[in-house]
Amino acid sequence: MPFDISLNIPGIFSAAFICFAFLALWFSKALFGPLLEKVRTRQPETITLPRLIFQGLFVLLFCIVMEVFVDSVGAVGMSEGVYVGVAVWLLVSLIHLAVSFKFDGYSMFVKAIYSSYFLVASVISAALLSMWR
């Protein structure tokens, strides 16, 4: 069957929790928060509970899609998961950066920080989900 995909629900929630925690750390004052404040041309919106829930749901959706992708390519083990995570990053984030290069107001440095988070989240979630097989 072409769409015979089994979802690893505990793996998805574990990957989503780790990626969300890493997201909070990535943009905190401990890592890139102060640097982003200096180089941003626009001020970010304030963090509210609905925004956190919205972001958490998108991280969960990302991990569900990553699980489907990892399952579809048959990746098993950490090294294969890392390759899948980098491939997803190349397919999505790098193309997004290339398209948005001229069309939004963010500097390339800000885009690189956002894109590097997506690289780390892609690798972490794909490696975790492929090791969980």
**DSSP codes joined into one string, 49-73:** HHHHHHHHHHHHHHHHHHHHHHHHH
CA distance 70 to 39: 36
Q: Is 15 a member of any domain?
A: yes
Q: Is 2 a member of any domain?
A: no
Q: Is the pLDDT of residue 105 over 70?
A: no
Answer whether 77's CB lies under 8 Å from 130's CB.
Answer: yes
Q: What percent of the chain has pLDDT above 70? A: 89
Q: Is 33 a member of any domain?
A: yes
> Count of domains in the chain?
1
The whole-number average pLDDT for the span 24-51 is 81
CA distance 19 to 12: 10
The whole-number average pLDDT for the span 106-122 is 86
Q: Is 110 a member of any domain?
A: yes
Q: Is the pLDDT of residue 131 over 60?
A: yes
Q: What percent of the chain has pLDDT above 90? A: 50
Q: Is 1 a member of any domain?
A: no
Confidence of residue 42 (pLDDT cuts 50, 70, 90): low
List, in sequence order, the alpha helices (H) in 74-107: 78-89, 95-100
Q: Is the pLDDT of residue 99 over 90?
A: no
pTM: 0.85
Element (H, E) at 20: helix 9-26
The whole-number average pLDDT for the span 61-89 is 93
Q: Is 81 a member of any domain?
A: yes
- More confident of the two residues 61 and 112: 61
Range of the domain at 18: 9-39+46-131
**Mean pLDDT, all residues of the chain:** 87
Q: Is 3 a member of any domain?
A: no
